[in-house]
Structure 1
Amino acid sequence: MNNTIKTALYDLFTRHEQIWETEKGTLPQQAFDAEWISPCQVERLSEENICWSPVERESAVNLNNIEEALEVKLHPSIEQLFVLILPMEFLLIRWSPDRFDSSVE
């Protein structure tokens, strides 16, 4: 794995959490959806909202199905962007490992 990309992602989301905590007094929040349970969920604040924090994926990401469907070869660094599991508010990065896996099939 390219540690530069991983470090940059961790730095980005650490800053995001720090800004959120400074401005709002909590970790970042996301709307709660019982059908989209995620390892990112840290605390349930209410029926509508949860706090979240990014977590590292347990397994490597494989985008072969996307490459085949698009008939292109993706640069290996693209897979590095999926090292973390994040909430849906971040474009192209899936909240739940199961949702990510189904989206690349």
Structure 2
Amino acid sequence: MDSDLEKLLDRFIEQSMEVQQKHYGALPQLPFDPDWPSACVVESEPNADQSVHWHPVTQQPASDMFERLAKVLEIELHPDIRTWYTRYWSDPLPARHPDGELTLLFCWNEEDMERLRGNQLGHLMAKQKQRHPLSLFFACTDGDEFMTVDNRDGSVWLERPGRKPIKRLAGSLSEFLAALTPLPIAYSLKQ
């Protein structure tokens, strides 16, 4: 694992929660769904009809999803993408990059990680079929663009579905993350 990426990710998560506290004076909220549990939920006994506060938490132990995905595909997956998705459980987090606003993708729970596995598998198979460089996504824009890690060298790219990468954004996920500014998470005032 890239300890620099882990440190930068830890710092970004910390800054994201600081921005949230400064902007709203509270942790982010979302409607509680008893069928979609997560270690991120702060309330110990939430009710189904209320919103709950949450914050990102480190995965203990880290998911083995990327090892299983690599085994199915019979390829080695870039360690940065493994670190990205197996460091924290979290809802998506908004951020600003010099090129615009985006949403950083994370997994809420193990079931969400399995959904991600299926989506990444589909993305990788489409890349293989199109003979494009293999990449794995980790963020998206409000439009149809998303950010990926090139599996060969770990560089970060802007892509659109079914097309070759559009623009190189950074030499690594660490470099990309260092250029981001956390934004407040949409806050539900429903109690």
Q: Normalising TM by the smaller chain, what interval?
A: 0.7 to 0.9
Gaps of 5+ in 1: none
- Contact residue 45 and residue 51 of structure 1 kept, 8 A: no
Q: CA deviation at 1:65?
A: 3.2
**Equivalent residues in 2 for 1:39-58, closer than 5 Å:** 39-43=39-43, 44=46, 47-58=49-60
Alignment correspondent of 2:130 = none
Instruction: Determine if the alignment matches structure 1 residue 76 to structure 2 residue 79.
Output: yes
Partner of 1:22: 22
Partner residue, 1:95: 108
- The runs of at least 4 aligned residues of structure 1 exceeding 6 Å deviation read none
Q: TM-score, normalised by structure 2?
A: 0.46
Alignment length, in residue pairs? 103
TM-score by length of 1: 0.77
Q: Which has the higher strand share?
A: 2
Over the residues paired in the alignment, what is the CA RMSD in angstroms? Answer: 2.5
Amino acid at match of 1:66: L
The alpha-carbon deviation at position 70 of structure 1 amounts to 4.9
Q: Partners in 2 of 1:30 and 1:74 — Cα distance? A: 33
Contact 1:60 1:83 in 2 (8 A): yes
Q: How many Å separate the matches in 1 of 2:105 and 2:75?
A: 18
SS in 1 for 2:42: strand
SS of the equivalent of 2:20 reads helix
1:36 aligned counterpart, secondary structure: coil
| Higher Cα Rg, which structure | 2
Q: Paired residue for 1:66, among 64, 69, 79?
A: 69
Tell me the SS of whatever aligns to 2:36. Answer: coil
Cα offsets for 1:21-72 (capped at 9, x unmatched): 1111101222322111110001359834211111111123321332355554
- Conserved? CA contact 2:29–2:54, under 8 Å: yes
